[in-house]
Amino acid sequence: MPYAPEQMLRVCVLQHLYDPVDMAAMNAIIDSRAFSAFCGADSRSGIPDGDTIGRFRNILNEHYLQEELFENVR
């Protein structure tokens, strides 16, 4: 299932703020209604798995986009 770029960026924001690893991020989104609402996931199947989160994060890092996106987020 493809995920919207906005949803994947929201997952990355949560990772940036709370520093969970990819699988922990997925589990945190599953366990927290606030996190799943922030990510726009209305069911467990709407949440990207840890591998998908990691691949997306790696793409951002390869193109130096994660630094740019989060330089002002703390």
Q: What is the pLDDT of residues 12-36, one digit of tens each?
A: 999 988 988 999 999 999 999 999 9
Token output for 72:
């002002």
Cα(39)–Cα(71) distance, integer angstroms: 21
Residue-range domain boundaries for the chain: 5-70
Residue 74's pLDDT band, with cuts at 50, 70 and 90, is: low
Q: Pick the residue with more confidence: 26 or 70?
A: 26
Token output for 45:
């199947």
Cα(61)–Cα(67) distance, integer angstroms: 8
Report pLDDT for 1.
59
Determine the average pLDDT of the residues in 2-21: 92
Token output for 53:
């989160």
